[in-house]
């Protein structure tokens, strides 16, 4: 899939078929995380690739912002260790993984794990060292829901793009 088409057509997917994702594609998704850029190339990240159905189900019980991870055939926990800009680095890797998956027909949803009790429970379940920063759990799977029209609402282009100077909204 061409890059613009992948970005333009991508939708968050929260309802998954149980069909497993081929191991080759799983490895490709993880390679895309590995090849993502990071601040000063620090690469202070770990990606926990989860396919064990009991673990996925338990994640679904813990993650109140994304119980659907319990139905996903695959998930990735993104963990940063003392990175200078953890959220930005993780964001780059997450977007790479999502677009790779999408280009092969696999959807994804970002599951925020923000409450302290959930962070502790996910870290315990996945054996993540306490000092490390759990950024998110990403649920992946082939979409099971009825396709919606492409594109969720977006702020109009002319309201967010400024030309040369802030406040100049007309393209020269």
Ligand X SMILES: Cc1cc2nc3c(=O)[nH]c(=O)nc-3n(C[C@H](O)[C@H](O)[C@H](O)COP(=O)(O)O)c2cc1C
Q: Which residues of the shown chain bind ligand X in the complex (CB under 6 A)?
A: 11-12, 14, 65-66, 109-112, 152
Q: How far apart are CA 122 and CA 120, in angstroms?
A: 6
Q: How far apart are CA 73 and CA 53, in angstroms?
A: 7
- Quick count: other Cβ atoms within 10 Å of Cβ 95? 15
Q: Which of 19, 18, 12, 29 has its CA nearest to residue 109?
A: 12
Residue keyed to tokens 């000092």 = 131
Nearer to ligand X, 110 or 121 (CB): 110
Nearer to ligand X, 21 or 108 (CB): 108
Which residues have CB under 8 Å from 41's CB, separation 6+? Answer: none
Q: How far apart are CA 106 and CA 24, in angstroms?
A: 13
State the minimum distance, in angstroms, from the CB of residue 114 to ligand X: 8
Nearer to ligand X, 41 or 160 (CB): 160
State the minimum distance, in angstroms, from the CB of residue 38 to ligand X: 17
State the minimum distance, in angstroms, from the CB of residue 151 to ligand X: 7
Nearer to ligand X, 7 or 169 (CB): 7
State the minimum distance, in angstroms, from the CB of residue 153 to ligand X: 9
Sign (positive or negative) of CA dihedral 149, 151, 153, 157: negative
State the minimum distance, in angstroms, from the CB of residue 27 to ligand X: 24
Nearer to ligand X, 22 or 105 (CB): 105
User: Strand pairing partners for 46?
Assistant: 79
């Amino acid at each position: 899939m061409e890059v613009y088409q992948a970005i333009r057509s991508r939708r968050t997917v929260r309802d998954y078929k149980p069909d497993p994702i081929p191991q080759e594609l799983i490895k490709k998704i993880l390679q895309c995380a590995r090849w993502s850029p990071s601040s000063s190339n620090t690469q202070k990240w770990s990606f926990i690739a989860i396919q064990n159905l009991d673990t996925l189900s338990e994640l679904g019980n813990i993650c109140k912002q994304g119980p659907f991870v319990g139905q996903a055939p695959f998930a990735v926990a993104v963990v940063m260790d003392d990175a200078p800009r953890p959220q930005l680095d993780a964001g780059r890797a997450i977007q790479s993984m999502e677009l790779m998956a999408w280009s092969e027909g696999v959807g994804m949803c970002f599951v925020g794990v923000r409450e302290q009790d959930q962070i502790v429970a996910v870290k315990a379940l996945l054996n993540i060292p306490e000092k490390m920063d759990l950024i998110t759990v990403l649920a992946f799977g082939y979409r099971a829901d009825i396709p919606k029209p492409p594109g969720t609402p977006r702020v109009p282009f002319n309201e967010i793009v400024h030309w040369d100077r802030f406040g100049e909204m007309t393209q020269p």
